[in-house]
Amino acid sequence: MIDIRISNCNKNYGSLRVLKDINLEIERGEFIVLLGPSGCGKSTLLHIVAGLDRLTSGAIEIGGRDVTDVEPKDRDIAMVFQSYALYPTMSVRSNMEFGLRMRGKPMAEIRPLVEEKARMLHIDHLLDRRPSQLSGGQRQRVAIGRALVRDPRVFLFDEPLSNLDAKLRASMRTEIKKLHQSLGTTAIYVTHDQLEAMTLASRMVVMKAGEIQQVGKPEEVYHRPVNLFVADFLGNPGMNFMRGHIRLDGGHISADIGAAILPLDGYAFEAAPADGQAVVVGLRPESIQPISGLTSGGGAFTLTLRPTLIEHTGSDNLVVLAMGDEEIVGKFPTDMLPKLGEPVTVGFDLGRLSLFDAESERRI
């Protein structure tokens, strides 16, 4: 069942086109993450769904009802903001109660509801404090609590964890995920943090310059990016890109990247390749490993390369390898570290390879 339908949505600020013909359908209970660099229009899109921004053309439907010209309060949504946006002159309890009171709900119903949600978020002991007396994490819990008591059809999150420190962010992320699993409410979540997007999303929407680049499950977007932008934007460290061209040789297809010729017989092409077509080969660092570390059987391909730099990240080690004039990065387990300058045989997991047309930058 479609819960939110965004059709042909455009937003212009003067001559600046912030959103270009956005179409998106969100199923009931999905957790949709809008991901993209700053200025890509993801927050604007969220504000338009919330009704805080008017769209220039297009339509928004929530729960089968056209809400394009409906006020935010009548859209059956609740929103959590990056800056928490708590009412600073009110206690935590009043912050959570206020919206319900404005809707004319009787106090006798509000009280137990607020207390229940506060217990759920472990802020029941803070109900009589002011927001200024709380830590950042506690404030964000209150902001989530204020959204929860409204029991809306859709939750909207606008970078809710960006103001928290790394450790708190990770634990709040887990809690939001648990919360969504137990409530099952449809949610749209805006972030520029790909880790948040990968862990939280049931589907993620990657945006760039007002356009949707790719919509899909996190692992699908991660492993089968539709274009160079998505491939480059996701993953840390980023994907290795190697320029080359296609060689059609009898029945065999391969990519000549100068330093090596990669067989592509196992690759699932989306468009038929042409001989000599300029391409960019993309391979994530975890697909470049010492030969014994490879697990996927998708056609092991080995090369002997010289390590020029080793970076320790704690759990893994990033090994920079010289390949012709270019350098690529591989992820090596700690017990298989090569020595600097001594050539080492590395395996390429070609089953995880992505191939892009050099001109259109699209996946082929």
Q: Is 1 in the site for other proteins (CB under 8 A)?
A: no
Report which of 360, 353, 357 is spatially closest to residue 239, judged by C-alpha positions: 353
Scanning residues 261 to 280, which ones bind other proteins (CB under 8 A)? none
Nearer to other proteins, 27 or 74 (CB): 74
Nearer to other proteins, 74 or 327 (CB): 74
Nearer to other proteins, 42 or 47 (CB): 47
Does an H or E element contain 139, and which? helix 136-149
**Judged by CB under 8 A, which of 1, 71, 292, 341 binds other proteins?**
71
**Judged by CB under 8 A, which of 2, 52, 271, 340 binds other proteins?**
52
CA-based torsion, 314, 217, 26, 8: positive or negative = positive
Does an H or E element contain 357, and which? strand 354-357
- Distance from C-alpha of 364 to C-alpha of 357, rounded to nearest angstrom: 6
Nearer to other proteins, 146 or 331 (CB): 146
Residues with Cβ within 8 Å of residue 198, at least 6 apart in sequence: 204, 218, 222, 234
DSSP secondary structure code for residue 35 in this structure? E
CB of 155 to other proteins, least distance (A): 11
Q: Is 288 exposed, middle or buried (0-12, 13-18, 19+ CB in 10 A)?
A: buried
Scanning residues 119 to 178, which ones bind other proteins (CB under 8 A)? 146, 150
Per-residue binder mask for other proteins (CB under 8 A), 8-47, x = binder: ---------------------------------------x
- Distance from C-alpha of 271 to C-alpha of 182, rounded to nearest angstrom: 42
CB of 62 to other proteins, least distance (A): 13
CB of 318 to other proteins, least distance (A): 38
Nearer to other proteins, 140 or 254 (CB): 140
Does an H or E element contain 319, and which? strand 317-323
Per-residue binder mask for other proteins (CB under 8 A), 79-108, x = binder: x-xxxxxxxxxx-------xx--xx-----
* Residues touching other proteins, count (CB under 8 A): 27
Nearer to other proteins, 160 or 282 (CB): 160
3-state DSSP of 264-301 = CCCCCCCCCCCCCCEEEEEECHHHEEEHHHCCCCCCEE
Question: Where along the sequence are the contacts to other proteins (CB under 8 A)?
Answer: 47, 50-52, 71-74, 77-79, 81-90, 98-99, 102-103, 146, 150
